[in-house]
């Protein structure tokens, strides 16, 4: 395999057409440079130069090899520059995981806009994932940064920061008797049918929600599980049950859904940014941006 320095030596001699001038340009001695050129020719099995008294002229093979050598050196230089840029967080790829709440709270969009403005050379890959899957992917090195609902109980090796927080609103079918109740309190919701996020995807979040409902004075009757907010609100509009959604979804409620505040409900929708302690410079920069906007 040809070393890059041998190619650089050859290009210098070819461009200067003189070993002495090429040696001065490269900062090496003339005799070793002549020897390296002969070794290159022997290794390739080609005659690259016509040797005259004070001048070296490229042969046909030499001209072809010069074009190839310049291409290889330019590519190597580009690879080096890209690697250095990635090391500074100015290039490369950034894989970003997120939950729906990060989108609706605006934290994902704001961070992406600022990051792209400050580091336009970084290619961003967005991946919608559950919180637990993101934490696993971060540990495996398959994800650079995550936006999750629930930080892991053991967050060793991770940096975690709260980046969004909103109260919940109650979404009620418009034809439900409680939809028009001006004196609605959380206690009136006891035993009512609810649509909730799947327990399997985030059992801790489900347990925290049930505990908060009981602390507010009611126990929900979970009839249906759904993940997507649009699906949940659509089921509410169809009269399947009530649901709790983050406040930023109020304006996304379809016809047939009434949104009511929950003044004493103790739980809030929270989104956390999480990144590995071994994260790249670009991932660390993104993580800092998510905190700067809170």
Q: Kindly report, residue by residue over 105-130, the tens digit of the pLDDT.
A: 999 999 999 998 888 888 899 999 98
- Within 10 A of 31 (CB to CB), how many other CB atoms are there? 10
User: Could you tell me if 193 and 131 are in contact, meaning their C-beta atoms sit under 8 angstroms apart?
Assistant: no
**Tens digits of per-residue pLDDT, 224-249?**
999 888 899 999 999 999 999 999 99
Residues 37 and 81 in one domain: yes
Query: Is pLDDT at 23 greater than 70 in this prediction?
Result: yes
Segment (H or E) for 72: helix 60-87
pLDDT value for 293: 55
Sequence-ordered alpha helix ranges (H) in 128-280 = 131-140, 203-215, 229-237
Q: Give me the chain's average pLDDT, please.
A: 88
Please tell me which residue, 189 or 294, carries the higher pLDDT value.
Answer: 189
For the chain, helix (H) and strand (E) counts, in that order, are 10, 11
For residue 86, pLDDT beyond 60: no
Confidence of residue 216 (pLDDT cuts 50, 70, 90): very high
Question: Which structural domain range is residue 76 located in?
Answer: 4-87
Residues 77 and 212 in one domain: no
Residues 53 and 98 in one domain: no
Give the closest residue to 89 by CA, choosing from 276, 279, 282, 277: 282
Question: 90 pLDDT exceeds 60?
Answer: no
Better-predicted residue by pLDDT, 7 or 231: 231
**Is 152 in the same domain as 108?**
yes
Please count the structural domains in the chain. Answer: 3
User: Do 182 and 275 belong to one domain?
Assistant: no
Residue 277, token pair as written in the block: 């302690």
């Amino acid at each position: 395999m040809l070393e890059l320095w041998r190619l650089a030596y050859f290009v210098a001699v070819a461009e200067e057409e003189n070993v002495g001038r090429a040696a001065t340009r490269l900062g090496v001695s003339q005799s070793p440079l002549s020897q390296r050129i002969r070794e290159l020719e022997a290794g390739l099995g080609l005659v690259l130069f016509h040797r005259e008294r004070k001048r070296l002229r490229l042969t046909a093979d030499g001209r072809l090899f010069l074009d190839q050598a310049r291409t290889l050196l330019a590519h190597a230089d580009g690879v080096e520059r890209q690697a250095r840029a990635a090391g500074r967080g100015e290039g490369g790829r950034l894989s970003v995981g997120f939950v729906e709440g990060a989108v609706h709270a605006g934290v994902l969009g704001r961070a992406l806009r600022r990051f792209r403005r400050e580091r336009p050379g970084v290619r961003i890959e967005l991946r919608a994932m559950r919180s637990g899957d993101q934490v696993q992917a971060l540990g495996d090195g398959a994800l650079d940064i995550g936006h999750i609902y629930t930080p892991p109980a053991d967050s060793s090796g991770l940096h975690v920061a709260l980046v969004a927080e909103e109260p919940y609103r109650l979404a009620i079918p418009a034809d439900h008797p409680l939809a028009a109740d001006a004196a609605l309190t959380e206690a009136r919701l006891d035993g009512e049918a609810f649509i909730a996020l799947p327990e399997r995807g985030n059992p801790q979040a489900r347990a925290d929600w049930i505990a908060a409902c009981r602390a507010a004075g009611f126990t929900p009757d979970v009839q249906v599980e759904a993940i997507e907010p649009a699906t949940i609100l659509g089921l509410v509009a169809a009269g399947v049950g009530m649901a709790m959604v983050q406040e930023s979804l109020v304006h996304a409620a379809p016809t047939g859904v009434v949104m009511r505040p929950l003044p004493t409900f103790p739980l809030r929708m929270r989104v956390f940014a999480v990144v590995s302690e071994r994260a790249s410079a670009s991932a660390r920069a993104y993580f800092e941006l998510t905190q700067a906007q809170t």
